[in-house]
Structure 1
C-alpha cells in the first residue's frame, strides 16, 4: 500500500506538472504574441477587473473544494449540496460585480471597466458550477484527465485571444480568453464526472465542511487582499499604463510559479491526507515535497534574476524594457514564497484553517507595510516591498506552524537554507560568467545563463549534504520512471464519482 501510494503521488505529480508545463508554455506564447498586439493600457484595464474577480473567486469557492478533497468520506448527497452552495455563491457574486462596475469605473476614471466587469462576471458563474465537479476529479486522483482539460482550455482560449487581437478587438480579446477558458474547463470536468450533481437535500451533515471552509476563506481573503495591495496601489496612484507594465512582469514570473504550485498541491493534499496519522511518513513526504518544489523552482528564478534583461526583450519586446527590475524583484520574492509553501499543505491537511487565518493576518500586515513604504519610490519601490515581505515572513511561517502541529521544522529550515545557497551561488556564477562573454542574442544569453546555473548546481551537489538532497530528488524521479501501476481509488470515492 505504501509503495502504491508513493507511486500514485509520483505519477500524479508528473502528470499534473507535465500538464502545467504545457500550460506555462502556452502562457509564454501568449505573452510573447499578445504583448506585441496589445498595449500596456489594455492589460491595465483587465488587471483592474481581474483583481476583483480574484476576490470573488475566493468567496465563490468558500474553501469547500479543499473541504471536499480532504474529507475522509464524502457522500453523494453532501457532494450535491456543496455543488449548489458553490453555484449559488457564484451567481450572487456575479450580480454584485455587475452592480459595482459603474461606481468602480467612475472612481478609476476608466469607463471601459463597466463593460469589462459585467462580461467577466460570467467567470464567477461558470467557476461556481465547476468547483465541486473539479473536486470530485481530484478526490478520485484522476490527474491525467484533469491535466488534459486544463491544457485544452488554455490552448483554445489562447487561440481565441490571438484571433481577437489580430482582428482589432483590443482588450476584449483578453476578456474573451478569460471567459472561454472558464467555460471549457467546466465542460471538461462535467464530462469527466459524467453525471448530474443531484438536487440539494435537507438533513445532510454539512457543518464540518462549512466550518472548515469558513475559516479557510478568511485566511484566503487576507492572503489575496494583501497579495494584491501592490496592484491596487499601482493602479490607484499611477494609472492603467504603469499597472499594465507591472502586471506583465508579474505574469511572466509570479503567475507561472503559482501555476506550478497549484497542480502539486492538488496531488499533495489528497496524498498527505491519507497518511497524516503516520507521522514519520508524513514528515518524510513533506521534506521531499519541499525539495521537489524548492530546488528546480529556485534555480529557475535565479536564472530570471540574472537574465531578466534578455528575457524581457525576448518575451515582451523593446517597448517593455522598463519591466526588467520588476522581473528581478518578483523572482527574488518567488524564491521565498515557494520555500514557505509546503506549510500551506499542512494547514489544509490537518484542518488548521483557523491557525492559517491568524498566520495570514500577521504575514499580510508585513506585506502591506513593506509595499506602502516602497510606494514612496514609485512602481519599482512597490515591487521592492513585494519582494522584501516574503523574506521576512518565511522564517516566521514554519515557527508559527510548529506551534500548532507536529512538523519536521529543523529539517525544513535546513533544507530551505541549502536551497537558498544553491540558488544564490548558481546565480552569482552565471552572472559573473555572462559578464565576461561578448554580447549574445537574447535567446542564447538566456540559454547560456541557464546552462551555467545548472552546471554550478550539479557541481555543488557533490558536497555531502547536497548529495543527500540530490539523491532524494533522483529517487523521486525514479518513482516517476519505474511505477506504472494503476492508481488505487477508495471504493467510497469511486461511488461518489461514478454512482
Structure 2
C-alpha cells in the first residue's frame, strides 16, 4: 500500500503538471486564435471533427486500455498492438481521403475536402507513438511525458499563431494539430526507449480484441454522439453558429477535462492494481469522486455566473453570442466526471460489455431527443443535453456502483450536498452579477466574484463539515 501511495503522489504531481501545462498553453493559444480568426473558421473544423475523432477511436481499437489493464504485458503484446494500430491508421486514412468529397457535399463546404485529407494525416503520425505513450502511462512515467509534451505543444502553438497572423485562416488550426502530433511522436520514440519488434501474434490480437473491441465501440458511439450537435448545427444552421458552439464547448471542457484527465491518468493504473480488493477499491474510488466533484463543480458554476465578462474579456465582443451556449453547456458538464468515473469502474472490472450497453442507451436518448427537439433551435438541443446527462448519470451510478458497493444511494449522499451548495451560491451570485457587478470593469468583475465565491464556498463546506473537506485537508497535508 505504501508503494501505491508513493507512486500516486509522484504520478499525481507530474500528471497535474502535464495537464495543467497543456491546458494553460491551449487556453492561451485559443484566446489568441479566437481574436485572429472568425467564428466560421472554427465552425469548419467542427464539421470534420467527428470523422477525425472516430478515426482515432478505430485506430486505437480499445487495445490501449487493454494493454494498461494487462499486468503481465510483454514485447509481444506491445509489438502486436503497434502494428495493428499502424495498419489500421493507414487503412482509415485511405477511407477518409476518398470520402472527403461526400462530407464536403453534405455540408456544402468545398474546402472540407482538402481539410480532411490533410488533417487526417495525423492519424498515421499518432499511430507511431500510441504504444510508447501507453508504456509510459502504465509505468507512471509522467515526468518524461511532461518533458516531451510541453515543448511540442509550445512549438505547435507558436506555429499556429504565426500561420493565423499571416492570413492562413483555418489552416492555422490544422497546422497546430499536425505539428504537435509529429513532434510528440518523434520525442516519444526517443524517450520511451522502446522500438517494436516485427511480431504480430494472432493470439495476442484475439486477447486484446476480446476486451478492446467493446471499449472501441463504446468510444466510437460516444464520439459520434458527442459530435452529433456539430453535424446538426453545421447542416441545419450555419458555420458561424457552429463556431460559437464549438468555442463555448471547448471553454466549458477546460476545467472538467483538466481534472478528469489528471486524476484518471494516475488513478486508472493504480485502481487496476487494487482491483481484487473490493473494500480498498471502493474507498479509493469514493474519495476520488468526492474530490473531483468538489473541485470541478464550483469552477463550472462560477464560470456560468461571469460568462459574459469572461468571454468578452478573453475573446472580444464578436464572441458574445456564444455566452448562452456556454452557460447551458456548463450545467451539462457538471455531470461529466461522475458519469465518466462510473464507466471506468465497469472497465476495471472487465465489464466493457456493460459500458457498451450504457453508452448505447445514453447516445440513443441523445439522438432521439435531438431530432425531436431540433425545431426549437440550438437552445432546444442544449436543454436536451442537460436532461439526458442527468438521467444517464443516475442510471450509470446505479449500475456501475454495484460492482464496488458504491451505488446511487451512496453516491447521492456524497454528491448532492456539494452540488446543492454550488447551485445555491451560483443563483445568489448570478442575481448579484445582474443587479450590481455588471457595472464593474470586466477584470475586476471576474476577480471580485471569484474571490468571494471561493471564500464563501470553502467556508460553508468547512462549517457544515462535509466529508470531502477531510480528504482535501489530508491531500494538502501530504
Please, what TM-score do these two structures have when normalized by structure 2?
Answer: 0.96
Could you tell me which residue of structure 2 aligns to residue 124 of structure 1? 123
CA distance in 1, matches of 2:393, 2:465: 22
- TM-fit CA distance, 1:208: 2.3
Asked if 1:368 corresponds to 2:354, the answer is: no
- TM-fit CA distance, 1:310: 0.8
In structure 2, the CA distance between the partners of 1:138 and 1:305, relative to structure 1 (3 Å rule), is: same
**Contact 2:163/2:172 (8 A) holds in 1:** yes
In structure 2, the CA distance between the partners of 1:203 and 1:176, relative to structure 1 (3 Å rule), is: closer
How far does the alpha carbon of each residue in 1:61-105 deviate from its partner, in whole angstroms, 9 at most, with x for none? Answer: 111111111111101111100110111111111111111111211
Query: Which 5+ residue runs of structure 1 have no aligned equivalent?
Result: 480-499
How far does the alpha carbon of each residue in 1:384-408 deviate from its partner, in whole angstroms, 9 at most, with x for none? Answer: 22222211211111112145x2332
> The residue matched to 2:197 in structure 1 has which SS?
coil
CA distance in 2, matches of 1:129, 1:438: 51
CA distance in 2, matches of 1:459, 1:377: 41
Deviation above 6 Å: which 4+ runs of structure 1? none
CA distance in 1, matches of 2:85, 2:259: 25
- TM-fit CA distance, 1:255: 4.9
Could you tell me which residue of structure 2 aligns to residue 436 of structure 1? 436
- TM-fit CA distance, 1:419: 2.1
Q: How does 1:390-401 map to 2 (within 5 A)?
A: 390-401=389-400
How far does the alpha carbon of each residue in 1:431-484 deviate from its partner, in whole angstroms, 9 at most, with x for none? Answer: 344333461222221122221221121121234441x211112212333xxxxx
Q: How many equivalent pairs are there?
A: 476
**Contact 2:132/2:194 (8 A) holds in 1:** no
CA distance in 2, matches of 1:473, 1:370: 39
Asked if 1:449 corresponds to 2:449, the answer is: yes
Please provide the CA RMSD for this pair.
Answer: 1.7
Could you tell me which residue of structure 1 aligns to residue 165 of structure 2? 166
**Contact 1:289/1:342 (8 A) holds in 2:** no
- TM-fit CA distance, 1:203: 5.9
Could you tell me which residue of structure 2 aligns to residue 141 of structure 1? 140
Q: How does 1:54-453 map to 2 (within 5 A)?
A: 54-202=53-201, 205-403=204-402, 405-409=403-407, 410-434=409-433, 435-437=435-437, 439-453=439-453
CA distance in 2, matches of 1:297, 1:62: 30
Could you tell me which residue of structure 2 aligns to residue 493 of structure 1? none
**Contact 2:233/2:241 (8 A) holds in 1:** yes
CA distance in 1, matches of 2:387, 2:314: 26
- TM-fit CA distance, 1:429: 3.4
Q: Which range moves more in the overlay, 336-345 or 426-435?
A: 426-435
Q: Which range moves more in the overlay, 275-284 or 455-464?
A: 455-464
CA distance in 2, matches of 1:257, 1:471: 22
How far does the alpha carbon of each residue in 1:99-138 deviate from its partner, in whole angstroms, 9 at most, with x for none? Answer: 1111211221111001110101111101112211110010
Higher relative contact order (CA 8 A, sep 6+): 1
Could you tell me which residue of structure 2 aligns to residue 29 of structure 1? 28
Could you tell me which residue of structure 2 aligns to residue 482 of structure 1? none
In structure 2, the CA distance between the partners of 1:419 and 1:372, relative to structure 1 (3 Å rule), is: farther
**Contact 1:165/1:173 (8 A) holds in 2:** yes
In structure 2, the CA distance between the partners of 1:342 and 1:169, relative to structure 1 (3 Å rule), is: same
In structure 2, the CA distance between the partners of 1:38 and 1:284, relative to structure 1 (3 Å rule), is: same
How far does the alpha carbon of each residue in 1:245-286 deviate from its partner, in whole angstroms, 9 at most, with x for none? Answer: 111111111255324322321211100000111111111110
CA distance in 2, matches of 1:61, 1:406: 28
> The residue matched to 1:341 in structure 2 has which SS?
helix
Please, what TM-score do these two structures have when normalized by structure 1?
Answer: 0.92
**Contact 1:370/1:388 (8 A) holds in 2:** no
In structure 2, the CA distance between the partners of 1:256 and 1:471, relative to structure 1 (3 Å rule), is: closer
CA distance in 2, matches of 1:224, 1:201: 29
**Contact 1:230/1:383 (8 A) holds in 2:** no
**Contact 2:291/2:471 (8 A) holds in 1:** no
Asked if 1:47 corresponds to 2:17, the answer is: no
In structure 2, the CA distance between the partners of 1:95 and 1:332, relative to structure 1 (3 Å rule), is: same
**Contact 2:294/2:468 (8 A) holds in 1:** no
Could you tell me which residue of structure 1 aligns to residue 459 of structure 2? 459
**Contact 1:95/1:121 (8 A) holds in 2:** no
CA distance in 2, matches of 1:208, 1:202: 10
- TM-fit CA distance, 1:26: 1.3
**Contact 1:265/1:345 (8 A) holds in 2:** no
CA distance in 2, matches of 1:266, 1:414: 26
CA distance in 2, matches of 1:380, 1:156: 38
**Contact 1:429/1:453 (8 A) holds in 2:** no
Could you tell me which residue of structure 2 aligns to residue 485 of structure 1? none
How far does the alpha carbon of each residue in 1:282-339 deviate from its partner, in whole angstroms, 9 at most, with x for none? Answer: 1111011112211111110011110110111012110111111011011101101222
